[in-house]
Structure 1
């Protein structure tokens, strides 16, 4: 069995289109805004806890010693493969400043654990170049552009700050769009030509994602 991170999606969703997409994998997520000692934003720490269905699929055959548990060394090959394959989709992370998409670097500090019948993948998603939040609004989203994976923030402590932002700067996890806002966005995207490219990074999946936004008082 091929254990690509997208294995479940490929099995369940072959032939599906973004217009009719609905999720087949669910992930409860937490994120952390990471800063340097001088207040520059350096990236985002991700923590994704997957549903039991995906977990069962992904772990099939990995209990190599047959003891009924999944030790770190048994899960590591899966984790390495997950991280390698996630690169194809930019790790489902989208960071922007002043509505311009920012380049990310290579992920670091990645690990995966199995607990309470669910897998949790964690990693650092760094910016290629740190940014100064005082130079414009910084925001990020975690989502699957095709909406086959539903990333949803946990209720308690969904976002944290690792480090310190400059004086006058703060962050906020924004709510989902209202039905009216969502319908307006859908109509807008439906009217664009097939070769349309939005420099702000907005696409179908972004409609269902909650942004974390960092702003600074002038």
Structure 2
């Protein structure tokens, strides 16, 4: 029951209600590149906050060494996947400003770090490889702000393998320079809480 209640927190994230964060997630991204320098997929690693991790793991069986049993971790992953799939893993991708589809992760996996935090990893292939001289922008956010996603400052956008001419940049979601403060405030009041979203942008020359 505790497992189902913990997962329900993520289900509620997609509900049409205003909220403040109940779950905090640190996001690491990796752009996977082929030999021609085309972007094939986005890989992510989410690290959940200690409180949510503890709540979600409560009651799962442990082995003699104190680690969580694989069957219990698999059960947690099975419970997490349906609401995440419904929310498309809270991830939006745009190529040169036009939204592009991301395939469902074929390799989602969960593990428990030594400090007890849940780490979810998965990849999302692009609908078609992105050719060079284009821009790929990634946002990971819950527009209702039930889950607070924040890109890792250290690992927000690795390029794998490292590719000459390809580099990722992190924007913090702050209003653009010179933006009308009244318009910005109106957008925050009238729209979703995370109107000004942080994002990672990959450019390949």
TM over 0.5: yes
Task: Calculate the aligned-residue CA RMSD, in Å.
Answer: 3.1
Number of corresponding residues: 201
Contact in 2 for aligned 1:3/1:78 (Cα 8 Å): no
Unmatched tracts of structure 2, length 5 or more: none
CA gap 1:94/1:14 in 2 versus in 1, 3 angstroms:
closer
1:116-131 paired onto structure 2 within 5 Å? 116-131=115-130
Are residues 1:161 and 2:162 paired?
A: no
- Residue in structure 1 matched with residue 194 of structure 2 by the alignment: 205
1:141-156 paired onto structure 2 within 5 Å? 141-156=139-154
CA gap 1:26/1:100 in 2 versus in 1, 3 angstroms:
same
1:1-218 paired onto structure 2 within 5 Å? 1=1, 3=4, 6-8=7-9, 17-18=17-18, 21-63=19-61, 68-115=66-113, 116-134=115-133, 136-165=134-163, 168-178=165-175, 184-185=183-184, 187-188=186-187, 204-205=193-194, 207=196, 209-217=197-205
- 1:149 to partner: Cα distance: 0.6
TM-score by length of 1: 0.77
| SS, match of residue 110 in structure 2 | strand
Unmatched tracts of structure 1, length 5 or more: 193-202
Counterparts of 1:131 and 1:186 in 2: how far apart (Å)? Answer: 35
Per-residue CA distance 1:71-118 (angstroms, 9 max, x = gap): 333201211331232110010111101211111112022211112021
